[in-house]
Structure 1
């Protein structure tokens, strides 16, 4: 697969990281295989997660093909970039096509990035996971790599203005590969993946260098001002209702 667009986009991102003087801490990068397919499962807390998620794989000299909303591929500005980087459009009305495209990428030895929560978590804690992640890994015969991002929500997330303040700490943590087979129950395998990532998220939050009490970007369970998971679920339902009303 020829990559004429991805390298200059990476160079631009690295320049932006330098200008912003982001204090990026990557751990577990040795778990990213240098060859062969693997499915990277990421938590979802911001609109820039795919940028920093891809950065986590760079020490292994690998490019990640992310599964992303189809609307981004139709956008006048992001569309050419998303297509040029061979990311995978996800149409929720016709998800089978994107699922099969991801399988083809994995079987061809690519890294595919997926957000098992499907949408951004307003609580910044893990939402419920969809089973598609483990089902894809099992069908393609590749491992799942759990990845946790933290600090990206402070830059650009739901319900808050963009804030690209300099010197911000960003944490990227990659866990050991998880093997999933066709014989595994998808529900049980998904629960194991979520439990693993929940533990990684807890460790990442606790080791993050900034822990200001009441901060809007810190989960309520850690003394922050973010919505609780229950409050976040209510906000998600209200957002979906507003979208449905606009469509009508």
Structure 2
């Protein structure tokens, strides 16, 4: 009998932003896997991640299984691959033992999510496994709601850029039309500020981190400086250039 692995988007951090369908998927699963970062020796760092903290608002802790993923390994590819193999094997064990497993991921499971790689691994290890996803609210949606920034109007394009690809990629997007959203830019905050300034996109831009959490910060992008890195999961919205007319781009 085939098992079922469901990737559940649990939003950017605010437990009230988990969908009803997401809560039902978490509760219906026999086990809920949450990803945790690896310490230098490859073991569990011991600190609860954002996904785990959100999940615990809806399911009993006894049902939650922490699995180490190479979330913070970008340089050592062999180490990263070994960590992925170990994580995939652990989730495969859980599927064989319990049948229905949910994997909780911040944001949406189909947008820059760890779940994508896990699903590929499980598909190879357990070919008969049913793999599904439950969409989640993304950080850009939450930041737009909390800051009042409009993501897109009329025929405007919306571009999403992970700044882990480099600030040059962000600058190229900012030189184009429409709204640009940047993810994971905290370590390159100074370069992001420069790209905004050089493309004339600073004035209406906003950034935020820890959305929906006690340490939440939402600030104008004009306050970005090169004074030091920001939280890794910081999000930036640089709205499209608009003339203020209503419905002008319909």
Larger-Rg structure: 2
- TM normalised by structure 2 equals 0.34
Higher relative helix content = 1
Higher relative strand content = 2
- TM normalised by structure 1 equals 0.34
Q: Which has the higher contact order (CA 8 A, sep 6+)?
A: 1
